[in-house]
Structure 1
Amino acid sequence: MEAFWLLIKYIVLGLLQGFTEPIPISSSGHLVIIRNLFGVGIEGLSFEIMVNFGSLIAVLVIYRKDIYRLVENGVRYITTRAEDAKSDFQFIMFLILATIPTGIIGLLFKDFIEAQLNDSVVVVGVALLVTGGALWIIRNLRGHKGEGGITVLDAIIVGLAQSVALVPGISRSGATIVAAMLVGMKTETALRFSFLLYIPVSLGITILSAGEIIGSDSDFSAVAIPSVLAFAAAIVATYYSLRWFINIMARGNLKYFAYYCFAVGILVILFL
Structure 2
Amino acid sequence: MIHAAEVIYLIKFLLLGIIQGITEPLPISSSGHLVILKDIFGIITPGLSFEIITHLGSLISIIIIYRKDIFSLLTESLRYIFRRENQYKNSFQFTFYILVATFITGIIGLLVEQYISEKLTKPLFAGIALLITGFFIWMIRNLQGEKSDRDLTIKDAMIVGLAQATALIPGISRSGATVVAAMLLGMKRETALRFSFLLFIPVSVGINVLSLSEIIQDEHFIPNIIPYLLAFLASLLATYFALKWFMNVMIKGKLIIFSIYCFIVGTAVIVYQLL
State the TM bucket, normalised to the shorter chain: over 0.9
Structure 2: how far apart are the matches of 1:45 and 1:263?
Answer: 28
**What residue ranges of structure 1 are gaps of 5+ in the alignment?**
none
| C-alpha RMSD of the superposition | 1.2
Structure 1: how far apart are the matches of 2:219 and 2:269?
Answer: 35
1:10–1:73 CA distance, 2 compared to 1 (3 A): same
Structure 1: how far apart are the matches of 2:118 and 2:17?
Answer: 23
Give 1:265's aligned amino acid.
G
Once the two structures are TM-superposed, the CA of residue 51 in structure 1 deviates from its matched residue by 0.6
SS of alignment partner, residue 25 of structure 2: coil
Partner of 1:164: 166
Partner of 2:241: 240
Structure 2: how far apart are the matches of 1:3 and 1:270?
Answer: 31
Partner of 2:132: 130
Alignment counterpart, residue 69 of structure 1, candidates 62, 65, 72 = 72
Partner of 1:264: 265
Structure 2: how far apart are the matches of 1:234 and 1:141?
Answer: 31
Partner of 1:88: 91
Give 2:257's aligned amino acid.
Y
Give 1:172's aligned amino acid.
R
How many residue pairs get aligned? The number is 270
Alignment counterpart, residue 196 of structure 1, candidates 186, 198, 202 = 198
CA contact (8 A) 2:128 2:270 kept: yes
Partner of 1:18: 21
Give 1:72's aligned amino acid.
T
**What residue ranges of structure 2 are gaps of 5+ in the alignment?**
none
Q: Detail structure 1 runs of 4+ shifted over 6 Å in the superposition.
A: none
- Normalising by structure 2, we get a TM-score of 0.95
Deviates more, 1:138-147 or 1:223-232: 223-232
- Normalising by structure 1, we get a TM-score of 0.96
Once the two structures are TM-superposed, the CA of residue 219 in structure 1 deviates from its matched residue by 4.1
Once the two structures are TM-superposed, the CA of residue 80 in structure 1 deviates from its matched residue by 0.8
Structure 2: how far apart are the matches of 1:150 and 1:85?
Answer: 15
1:34–1:219 CA distance, 2 compared to 1 (3 A): closer
Give 2:168's aligned amino acid.
L
Once the two structures are TM-superposed, the CA of residue 228 in structure 1 deviates from its matched residue by 1.7
Alignment counterpart, residue 53 of structure 1, candidates 52, 56, 65 = 56
Alignment counterpart, residue 143 of structure 2, candidates 126, 137, 141 = 141
Partner of 1:154: 156
Q: Percent identity?
A: 54
Deviates more, 1:236-245 or 1:257-266: 257-266
Structure 2: how far apart are the matches of 1:26 and 1:64?
Answer: 24
Once the two structures are TM-superposed, the CA of residue 7 in structure 1 deviates from its matched residue by 2.2
Once the two structures are TM-superposed, the CA of residue 12 in structure 1 deviates from its matched residue by 1.2
Give 1:70's aligned amino acid.
L
Query: CA-to-partner distance for each residue in 1:7-51, whole Å, 9 max, x for gaps?
Result: 222211111111100000001111111122332343332211111
